[in-house]
Amino acid sequence: MTNEDLFGKPVYSYTRKQAIADGVLIDLSGDKLIHAHWKYPLATTSTVWETVQSAVRDHDNDLNGILHDLSVLAKLRIRSGKTADSDTARFTAIIGKRTRALKLHLGLGDNHEPVLTLMFDDED
Q: Is residue 3 one of the residues assigned to a domain?
A: no
Q: How do strand 98-108 and strand 42-45 relate by DSSP bridges?
A: unpaired
Among 112, 117, 105, 99, residue whose Cα is nearest residue 41: 117
Q: Is residue 9 one of the residues assigned to a domain?
A: no
Q: Is residue 59 one of the residues assigned to a domain?
A: yes
DSSP 122: T
Q: Is residue 1 one of the residues assigned to a domain?
A: no
pLDDT on residue 66: 96
Q: Is residue 8 one of the residues assigned to a domain?
A: no
Q: Is residue 107 one of the residues assigned to a domain?
A: yes
Phi, psi of 13 (to 5 degrees): -140, 145
Q: How far apart are CA 17 and CA 27, in angstroms?
A: 9
Q: Is residue 10 one of the residues assigned to a domain?
A: no
Below-70 pLDDT ranges, the chain: 1-5
Domains in the chain: how many in total? 1
Q: Is residue 4 one of the residues assigned to a domain?
A: no
Q: CA–CA distance from 87 to each of 15, 66, 84 (Å)?
A: 19, 23, 9
Domain range holding 97?
15-120
